[in-house]
Amino acid sequence: MKTKISNLALLFFFSACTTAAPPALTTQALQEVPTQTPFQESTSAVQPVPTGWKVESVAEGLTVPWSIVFTSADRILMTERGGMIREIVSGVLNPEPLMIFDDISPKGESGLMGLAVDPQYTENQYLYTCYTYTGSNGTANRVVRLKDEGDSVVLDTVVLDPLPSANNHAGCRIRFGPDGKLYVTNGDALDPSSAQDLNSLAGKILRINPDGSIPEDNPFRGSPVWSYGHRNPQGLDWQPGSGQMFSTEHGPSGFDGPGGGDEINMIQAGGNYGWPLVSHDEKLEGTIAPIIQFTPAEAPASLSFYTSDVLPMFTGSLFFGALRGEGLVRVVLSDSDPKEIISVEKIISDIGRVRDVVQGPDGFIYFSTSNRDGRGSAREGDDHIYRIAPTY
């Protein structure tokens, strides 16, 4: 079942967007989970159950934090789009960057973007990142492997280069899948027709081995292309249990089609997701429609399934950060059919543009703002990394 979010439905689902934002950061809990009930000390050994949730600031004064990862329970690494890798250790932001890229081209939406931790990080200390640079043939994306040396991060090797890129529609979200392969999103680089061209790596989701080689079981022999027909995918995650891959994607912006049409897709190997042949609710034989589309635009910039029971009111939910829609969005899928959307709600809507969202080792939900990216309005302390923590 494909779900359409129309203007009327958005009025119901995203009522927070149509009302004036409160002057200060607030916590909005689900109706069935009140946030203000104090925890009564238990007389048994049973662990207390959260009665709600709250938003806490983890770090501030950042400049467009794009990707958040954890290398341990008390250490966060993040990319800032201008070209720095930063760290937060035991809740304290290191004022000195661990690495500064001198070949970054941070223009428009591009720059230093995705960051991923090697599945064997405890043995090899490898990290991976994707960034935009300007070479002899123009703007391109590059995926590199880095070595984390504790007090610094250094370049180890180039993994994938060059990838088509532009100031906008640069993609560059990277994630390791349950299969141990590295997945890379790449936008259409402002050339929509390239998304349908299997000889181009623009408008694709790519799958490679950690060393940059092409897996033998990719759907197009000898090619890193995993799926195609994408405009600008920027969120990737896998549903726990089923292992099904999901992606979020930015729809057209007026100059390349009617505004809106942002998507959540279930990704299949070799699948054609239609761009630029179809968008919004259009259908075309041979292409795969999204399970949900958002009009007006939300600009979904990330994607994360919540798997912990630390915040039981959110277990199993799908989250994405909304840039244009300004907030953190929760999507509940049917247990029996992941294509069926049970509900959509913007649980936080008073902090501006939200980029990344991830689950921390502590079971809290971490997310970053992007209010200093030239398209938002910077607020006091921006940009931030926040987290959702339980209340008792």
Which pTM was predicted? 0.89
* pLDDT at residue 282 tops 70: yes
∠98-104-106 over CA atoms, to 5°?
A: 110
Residue 47's pLDDT is what? 77
* pLDDT tens per residue across span 27-71: 333 333 333 333 334 344 677 899 999 999 999 999 999 999 999
* pLDDT (0 to 100) of residue 1: 46
| Domains, in order of start, for the chain | 3-39+50-391 (2.120.10.30)
pLDDT over threshold 70, residue 4: no
**174, 184 in Cβ contact below 8 A?**
yes
Q: Measured at the alpha carbon of residue 294, what is the angle toward residues 289 and 296, in degrees to the nearest 5? A: 140
* pLDDT tens sequence across 77-97: 999 999 999 999 999 999 999
Kindly provide the b/e burial profile for residues 140-150, where b requires at least 16 CB atoms within 10 angstroms of the residue's own CB: bbbbbbbebee
pLDDT band (50, 70, 90) for residue 325: very high
Residue 333 has pLDDT above 50, yes or no: yes
9: pLDDT strictly greater than 60: no
Position 60, amino acid: E
What's the confidence (pLDDT) of residue 46? 75
Query: What is the pLDDT at residue 126?
Result: 98
pLDDT in tens, 199-231: 999 999 999 999 999 999 999 999 999 999 999
Give the pLDDT score at 122.
98
Q: Which residues, other chains included, contact 197 with Cβ-Cβ below 8 Å and sequence gap of 6+?
A: none
3-state SS record for the chain: CCEEECHHHHHHHCHHHHCCCCCCCCCCCCCCCCCCCCCCCCCCCCCCCCCEEEEEEEECCCCCEEEEEEEECCEEEEEECCCEEEEEECCEECCCCCEECCCCCCCCCCCEEEEEECCCHHHHCEEEEEEEEEECCEEEEEEEEEEECCCCEEEEEEEEEEEECCCCCCCCCEEECCCCCEEEEECCCCCHHHHHCCCCCCCEEEEECCCCCCCCCCCCCCCCEEEECCCCEEEEEECCCCCCEEEEECCCCCCCCCCCCEEEEEECCCCECCCCCCCCCCCCCCCCCCCEEECCCCCECCCEECCCCCCHHHCCCEEEEECCCCEEEEEEECCCCCCCEEEEEEEECCCCCEEEEEECCCCCEEEEECCCCCCCCCCCCCCCEEEEEEEC
